[in-house]
Amino acid sequence: MNKKILIGAPPKHHVLLAMDEMHGLEDIGYTCKVITYGRNDQSISNLNKLFGVVGNAFNIVFTLYKFSPDLLYLNSRFEPVATSRDFLTLLIVKTFYLKKIKVAIKTHGSDPSILEKKSFLYKNCIVPFVLKHVDIWFFLSKDEKNIIEGYYPNIADKIFTTCNIIDPARSVASLEFRKRYGLEENKFKILFVGRIVKEKGVFSLLKSIPNLDFRSNCTFIFVGDGPDLEGLKSLALTLNVSEYVRFLGFIPDAECDNFYANADLLVFPTYYNEGFPMALFKSISAGLPVITTKIRAAKDHLNSPDNVLWVEKDSAESVAAAITKLYLNENLRNTMTKNNKALGKEFSKSEVCLKMSEALDSIQV
């Protein structure tokens, strides 16, 4: 067993997730240390981003010498920008860290188009180098695992699927919380949580509102920020639905988690390159009825109508139909709540980390 692990974690989003994994691995005998990996500031220049990646990589090398772990475990994504960062980081680590070290990457979503890039740099340098130097590769859905294995069958023994850790105790039902965010008690509260970009299905949800005869009985809550937020607000004015909608912007995870216990329904009609979308599975663990698209980890774990109602990509009509069905059918909502709370136990810290450790035990320094 690899006993010491240096964990590269994001600086802003999903920090709690990385800490949960660290504590879960420590509970089963690992010694762990967390270091910042990646950055969330997209406003800086590409040159500054490059300097940041290089500086971060050398900080990892310094910490490796100081901590002397058996495994470097990086949280990343499999897409052009993140994989380029992984390439540069691993190049610096392998060049300047002279001790033996195994490498694991956990991929939080992926864009398989990177495998089809005709660029010489990607095809012959970046992707092959990363594939060669990663010893364990965790993906969050069977689809992603199967795609990579289809392109590179010789590395199939390196690739594993895993889940993210969900702690339903972090989502607490509270009258004070609902008052703080203007969530009226007599309203049916329909929730979206995530980055505000078109591919997350936010426009499909907003456009569904005029199709709902009961919309005056509902509050539609959008939690998150992103480049399409102002466009979404503008569309709400155009559709004359602003009175039904709350745009709450970015809320840190520790606070945001409480929305799942204070809403009636999650609508998450994403067609983004999701891995294991936290908003979706936090809702599942909290017992929320769910409407989403049949992609990746969602279709690995969820069934309709036991846990979810499926909707079509970029279809306000299918979203409206699904909302109507759940709004009108309290028995179906109650059944989903019961089933989803039971399913959520599969994403506990102990369950997830025990399965991860089985993969980690398969490699030796």
Distance CA 173, CA 286 (A): 10
Q: Per residue in 185-227, pLDDT tens? A: 999 999 999 999 999 999 999 999 999 999 999 999 999 999 9
| pLDDT tens-digit map of 122-170 | 888 998 999 999 999 999 999 999 988 998 899 999 999 999 999 999 9
Task: Give me the mean pLDDT over the 342-363 stretch.
Answer: 93
Burial code (b: 16+ CB inside 10 Å, e: under 16) for 294-317 equals ebbbbbebbeeeebbbbbbebbbe
Q: What CATH topology corresponds to 4-165+348-360? A: Rossmann fold (3.40.50)
Beta bridge partners of 7: 34, 73
Q: Boundaries of CATH 3.40.50.2000 in the chain?
A: 4-165+348-360, 168-347
In CATH, 168-347 is 3.40.50.2000? yes
Contact 183, 189 (CB under 8 A): yes
Over residues 64-105, the pLDDT tens digits come to 999 999 999 999 998 888 999 999 999 999 999 999 999 999
The lowest-confidence range among 43-57, 59-73, 196-210, 346-360 is 43-57
* pLDDT value of residue 58: 96
What is the three-class DSSP state of 256?
Answer: helix
pLDDT value at position 47?
A: 78
Count the neighbouring beta carbons within 10 Å of the beta carbon of residue 184. 11
